[in-house]
Amino acid sequence: MTVIRLVLKELVGMFVDDGSLALLALILIALITAAVKLLTLPPLVGGFLLLAGCLAILLQSTCRAARGKAR
């Protein structure tokens, strides 16, 4: 049973290294999708916001990881 748990933990770790990064990306995608569908935001603007938001989330995650390594 512990081997199965270890394997599952490693599989999840491969795809979700930073939990807050994954959570923020999912929230961003949900918000942009809702804005495009419900608020009739143009899809091109939604795509730009998605790109900018993902880059901002990645930058924030990278800075936080770098601060953690420096200590």
User: What is the reported pTM?
Assistant: 0.73
36 closest CA partner among 27, 45, 25, 26: 45
Looking at residue 16, its pLDDT comes to 67
36 within 8 A of 43, measured Cβ to Cβ: yes
56, part of any domain: yes
Residue 35 lies inside a defined structural domain of this protein? yes
Q: Is residue 36 part of a domain?
A: yes
In a domain, 41, yes or no: yes
- Number of structural domains (the chain) is 1
CA dist 8 and 58 (Å) reads 25
Digit-coded pLDDT (tens) for 7-59:
888 877 766 667 788 889 999 999 999 999 999 999 999 999 999 999 999 99
Has residue 2 been placed in a domain?
no
Full domain range(s) for residue 49: 17-70
All residues at 6 or more sequence positions from 28 whose CB lies less than 8 Å from its CB, including other chains: 50, 53, 54, 57
